[in-house]
Amino acid sequence: MAARGASNGISALAALLFQGGIGVLGLLAIWLFDIPVRWVGIGEGRVWLFGAIGAVLTYLLLLVLTRIPALFPDDMARQMRGLYQFARSFSWPVLIALSVLAGVGEELLFRGAVQGWLANLTGPWPAIFASALLFGLVHYVSFTYFLVATGLGLLLGFAYHVSGSLELVMIWHALYDMVALFILVRFPHWFGVESPASG
């Protein structure tokens, strides 16, 4: 989710417009450059099942990895505090809407447009790595966050290539964001973050 400036006082409307604008940018790029987009691929019913499974497993994997300090040398707790303040600054309907817009918009741009365009020029594997790297750079707030976002981009790029379904990775991405925000807000102490009630 690229709308990381909310903790600095951005309004809900501005955050929603910003996140939605990413999707518009992706659609424009797809249209202007006539980029072929593979939509359903594996079938309408299975995209929801595999998207949900992918989101939960990805979150659990990252949760386990973040428990290994050697993998993330900078201050993970500080990153979690910033994300926690971001999540607490909006209502649940806004957070859900932001998650949906992030899933749809960012996948349109990074997987649909960037990966799709590069795949025509370089083949699928360089396109997956390049779009994931760009995805990580756009989400850069620390080296740790860059690694996490790039890793997520690699998973989503690979899933798009294998499944032929942009819808699948949109669902995966949106549900991942929802799960991550829900767990952080409900159980901040898991990440070394003190909630106002406990403070």
> What's the pLDDT tens digit per position in 84-141?
988 999 999 999 999 999 999 999 999 999 999 999 999 999 999 999 999 999 998 8
CB 33 within 8 A of CB 118: no
Q: What's the predicted TM-score (pTM) here?
A: 0.90
Domain boundaries, given as residue ranges, for the chain:
43-191
pLDDT, position 198: 54
Neighbours of 97 (CB within 10 A): 17
Compute the distance between CA of residue 76 and CA of residue 74 in angstroms, rounded to an integer: 6
Each residue's pLDDT tens digit, 5-30: 444 568 899 999 999 999 999 999 99
pLDDT, position 147: 87
Compute the distance between CA of residue 117 and CA of residue 185 in angstroms, rounded to an integer: 37
